[in-house]
Amino acid sequence: MKKSVLSKALQYDIPERILLVEDIWDSIAQCPEAIPVTDSQLKELDRRLEAYHRNPKSGSPWDVVKKRKSWLL
């Protein structure tokens, strides 16, 4: 990254920088195919999917997890 871009971004106050980061993240999320997935990540996804298929009731719905871990968010 060019230092001039970072220098300009650092001139913004914190809330503006947070919005900038969110906008950058959203632009990245629009093209997920550009983010490579490693072999170990694929293996972990397969492992979790297999565990889900063996026992679909063993997990928790996202809204429950989110409430339980709201202090992290």
Q: Of the candidates 7, 30, 32, 37, which has an alpha carbon nearest to the alpha carbon of residue 22?
A: 30
Supply the mean pLDDT for the chain: 90
End-to-end CA distance of the chain: 28
DSSP character at residue 54: H
pLDDT score of 64: 87
Task: Please check the confidence at residue 72 and state whether its pLDDT lies above 80.
Answer: no
Residue 56 CA to residue 73 CA, distance in Å, equals 26
Assigned token pair, 19: 């919005």
9 touches 1 (CB < 8 A): no
pLDDT score of 71: 65
pTM beyond 0.75: no
Q: Which residue has the higher pLDDT, 73 or 30?
A: 30
Phi and psi at residue 37, to the nearest 5°: -110, 130
pLDDT digits (tens, 9 = 90+) for 18-46: 999 999 999 999 998 999 999 999 999 99
